[in-house]
Structure 1
Amino acid sequence: MKLIFLAVFALTLCLSGSDGSQKWPNHDISTLKLLQVVHKHGERAPVSWTPNDPYNNVKYWPEGLSELTARGKNTMFKLGQFLRQEYGAYFGNQFSPREVYARSAAADRCFESCAALLAGAYPPNQKDWQWSDANVSLGHIWQPINIQTFLPEKSDLVCNQAKHCDIASAEYNRIYAQKVVKDFEAKNKPLYDQMTKAVGAPVGGIWEAFDLYDTLKAELDNNYYWDKTWSKEDETKLVAQLYESALRGQIWDYDSPIIKRMRAGGLVNELNTNFDKVLKKTNNKKMYVYSTYGAHISLLLQSLNVFNNVIPPNAATVLFELHQKPATDNYFVRLYYQNETTSAIIGIPHSVPLTDCKKLVDCPLTDYIESTKHLIYEDYDKECVKKSFK
């Protein structure tokens, strides 16, 4: 069921500029006609704890398990400021909330990340959008912007990938039954056994290793070290070793044309539909924002054949730009990946040549659409019960 939420996200930070952000050199937006943003949530608390975890107490995580932390809110706010800074000439000076469409996965951390980004990108600088009197400053630095989501969460085919699908599940089981996976787990068994003893919970394979990596990484992001178990140097090395299992798991999860189609097709179709609105002159938005999980960013990049074999960090952002060649009806797509975003610094997005478009940086829109057709399903539920597809 489609629900529209009003994102009431009160930020009292000064909007004087994007502190810590770098200026994007040689970024030409003179021909830009549409911007689409797909981002991972900001820094969050761990999703789960192990019995021996010294930080398995809510006093260390006042926001709650899996929730966006203060640092994560700040990161996403600065990311929004960066978008305003770099796309200001395209957005214009109205700062109207009506020119942006936002959609989020239903998880709190995704929803709040989207709200923080929008707060940074769309402060109400015009009187038409300021809503409080002179004695209340909030209405002069923040405005509510609609964010859409879908409930139940697992029914969301755009910002989530959890809806049951028989053929995708069968492919997943086939992948993890492969000898290469079993050999990898056997090779890493000494590490898994060592971690099992240390954390007080079984680490028997890739996904237990991934979950443990995920927890330890979230703790290290907040400067929480297991000082009574390991030295900082040893813990950092162990987390790096666990990362290899986490990365392999994230790659193997989507190592199938069927899985890519059924798990990424909803988002890819949404992005393509928005491009088509521009061609049909039915588009009334300057920016579309999709807030999701790191795994979904990885899935999207792998499905487009542009994955860099690095787990998407917090606030990782994929930017889809649609440009029009002057005085023509010819459109082209540019893709950028911003994967150096923290509360301390907003890095410069990397230009990503599109592998399935002859590795072009400026991919003709017709070629881009053609290169993604294999990812688009017609009827999710019907196709999920098929034994195969061509």
Structure 2
Amino acid sequence: MAPTAALLLLLSLASVCFPAAAEETLVFVTVLFRHGDRSPVRAYPTDPYQESSWPQGFGQLSQEGMRQHFELGQFLRSRYGNLLNGSYDRHEISVRSTDYDRTLMSAEANLAGLYPPSGGQVFNPSLKWQPIPVHTVPQSEERLLLFPRNDCPRYTQLVNETEHTEEVLNITAEYWDFIEFVNNKTGLKNTGVDSMWGVYDTLFCESRHNMTPPDWVTPDVQQKLRVLKDFSFQIMFGIYKRVEKSRLQGGMLLGEIVKNLSKMAAPDPQQRLKLKMLSAHDTTIAALQSSLNVYSGKQPPYASCHIFELHRDDNGSASVSMFFRNDSGAAPYPVQLPGCPLRCPLEDFVRLTQPSVSQDRDKECQLPSEGRDKEILLILALSAGALLLLIALLLAVVCWRREPMAARGYQHVLNQEGGGDDS
């Protein structure tokens, strides 16, 4: 047999025995990111830098934060240039933010990097920017992007129970002298492990903006505050009954993301959405990652970004890949859902995340005793109603038997109601 014919035979056999894998195409992306660098949200009582020390006041995005998100937008453009149009198309992207200045402004700075105007979208030749809508809802109505939500009695109970676990009590005992030291230096009262994050955050923001710290803030103090700050995140979302906490917190956002992934997996020529962008907070990312059971236990840094990519192959099968970008100088690293490969089949992704997604959060948020009390009251009410109905029927039978046979009828009943012989 000629070498060429033999090679063709081998290739044919290989194609039969080892069929080519179906080619996959990226069809949809969801990105959740934390806002950029900001001023502290508050100052402790003895802090030399109160709100007047900050150009825009507390909790506001800094120019560094704007640059961080402009750069993240450029990264998203380079990563998803083949998925998105080169110019802004309102059908391709949906942007939602919490109703905070810093998250709204982060989204806008991000979009400036993602969609620099060109051609007919340039409305001012000296301005490399174009307005793109960012949607939000009032903070009081935000149920998807703002965590922890304190509208859930059961979650509050779980956090209280967490604070009495052996792990938390041991950390509290280990750092008790340090906590009292910090309270004394800051002028704070009655604070514990879960409150140290506020002191750390204030000092961290001040250090990033070249403000001289008080003498008591040594590297050792900063390190201990950092440990307690990270531990406070775990108290909120992990350590104790993590899955149940997730169902009441980050599981709400996870459920929405899973629903969107499932919807976008079905081929639909009319569907043009390619990118869902969510601008939120460190606790939003921590809550979501905890519900996925991939949270590292560390506070997500400024402009960190959790990415969900939906791929679809020629056979119509879909898969989900996750990535986390927590360093603007490095590429995002892959995140593996426990129990699934990095490229997780969509049906498996849905199945594995389902325990963290509540089907009726309002019901699950009720305290167990409260739920039982309502159930008991309902049973008592139904029982009382049935008893009254039975008594009424018995009285009717008694009255019916006492009446003369010839007098029984509708007319006599009317007379009886008006005070007849038997009344």
Which category of TM-score, normalised to the shorter sequence, fits these structures? Answer: 0.7 to 0.9
Check conservation: 2:96, 2:135, Cα contact below 8 A.
yes
Q: Does 1:270 align with 2:256?
A: yes
Q: Greater CA radius of gyration, 1 or 2?
A: 2
The residue that corresponds to 1:47 in the other structure is 41
Q: 1:64-121: per-residue Cα shift (whole Å, max 9, x none)? A: 1011111111111111111112211221323324311011111111111111111111
Q: Which amino acid aligns with 1:184?
A: I
Check conservation: 1:79, 1:120, Cα contact below 8 A.
yes
SS at 1:355 equivalent = coil
Q: Does 1:200 align with 2:193?
A: no
Alignment CA distance shift 1:30-1:223 (3 Å): farther
How far, CA to CA, are the matches of 1:386 and 1:185 in structure 2?
27
TM-score (norm 1): 0.83
* Equivalent residue for 2:122, pick from 104, 126, 130: 130
Cα deviation, residue 46, structure 1:
0.6
How far, CA to CA, are the matches of 2:132 and 2:24 in structure 1?
27
The residue that corresponds to 1:157 in the other structure is 143
SS at 1:354 equivalent = coil
Check conservation: 1:195, 1:203, Cα contact below 8 A.
no
Q: Does 1:148 align with 2:148?
A: no
Cα deviation, residue 146, structure 1:
1.5
- Percent same amino acid among aligned pairs? 29
Cα deviation, residue 366, structure 1:
0.7
* Equivalent residue for 2:54, pick from 48, 61, 75: 61
Cα deviation, residue 203, structure 1:
6.6
How far, CA to CA, are the matches of 1:118 and 1:159 in structure 2?
19
Q: 1:3-24: per-residue Cα shift (whole Å, max 9, x none)? A: xxxxxxxxxxxxxxxxxxxxxx
The residue that corresponds to 1:302 in the other structure is 290
TM-score (norm 2): 0.76
Alignment CA distance shift 1:369-1:283 (3 Å): farther
Which of 70-79 and 187-196 deviates more? 187-196
TM superposition outliers: structure 1 runs of 4+ over 6 Å: none
Q: Does 1:91 align with 2:78?
A: no
The residue that corresponds to 2:155 in the other structure is 168
The residue that corresponds to 1:210 in the other structure is 197
The residue that corresponds to 2:306 in the other structure is 318
* Equivalent residue for 1:251, pick from 234, 238, 248: 234
SS at 1:147 equivalent = coil
Check conservation: 2:250, 2:290, Cα contact below 8 A.
no
Cα deviation, residue 30, structure 1:
7.0
How far, CA to CA, are the matches of 1:300 and 1:259 in structure 2?
11
Cα deviation, residue 260, structure 1:
0.6
How far, CA to CA, are the matches of 1:235 and 1:30 in structure 2?
53
Alignment CA distance shift 1:216-1:383 (3 Å): same
Q: Which amino acid aligns with 1:369?
A: V
SS at 2:330 equivalent = coil
Cα deviation, residue 52, structure 1:
2.1
Paired positions, count: 342
* Equivalent residue for 2:215, pick from 229, 239, 243: 229
Check conservation: 1:46, 1:66, Cα contact below 8 A.
yes
SS at 1:329 equivalent = coil
Gapped regions of structure 1 (runs ≥ 5): 1-28
Cα deviation, residue 311, structure 1:
1.3
Check conservation: 1:103, 1:148, Cα contact below 8 A.
yes
SS at 2:278 equivalent = strand
Q: Which has the higher contact order (CA 8 A, sep 6+)?
A: 1
The residue that corresponds to 2:177 in the other structure is 190
Check conservation: 1:155, 1:163, Cα contact below 8 A.
no
How far, CA to CA, are the matches of 1:260 and 1:106 in structure 2?
23
Q: CA RMSD in A?
A: 2.1
How far, CA to CA, are the matches of 2:150 and 2:95 in structure 1?
21
Q: Does 1:352 align with 2:335?
A: yes
Alignment CA distance shift 1:85-1:175 (3 Å): same
* Equivalent residue for 1:74, pick from 44, 67, 87: 67
Cα deviation, residue 149, structure 1:
1.2
Q: Does 1:364 align with 2:364?
A: no
How far, CA to CA, are the matches of 2:190 and 2:361 in structure 1?
34
SS at 1:145 equivalent = coil
Check conservation: 1:156, 1:163, Cα contact below 8 A.
no
Which of 277-286 and 71-80 deviates more? 277-286
Q: Which amino acid aligns with 1:95?
A: Y
Gapped regions of structure 2 (runs ≥ 5): 1-22, 372-423
Q: Does 1:285 align with 2:273?
A: yes
How far, CA to CA, are the matches of 2:104 and 2:47 in structure 1?
28
Check conservation: 2:153, 2:366, Cα contact below 8 A.
yes
SS at 1:35 equivalent = strand
Q: Does 1:113 align with 2:106?
A: yes
Q: Which amino acid aligns with 1:367?
A: D
Q: Which amino acid aligns with 1:88?
A: G
Structure with greater proportional helix content: 2
The residue that corresponds to 2:408 in the other structure is none
Check conservation: 2:319, 2:345, Cα contact below 8 A.
yes
Which of 365-374 and 215-224 deviates more? 215-224
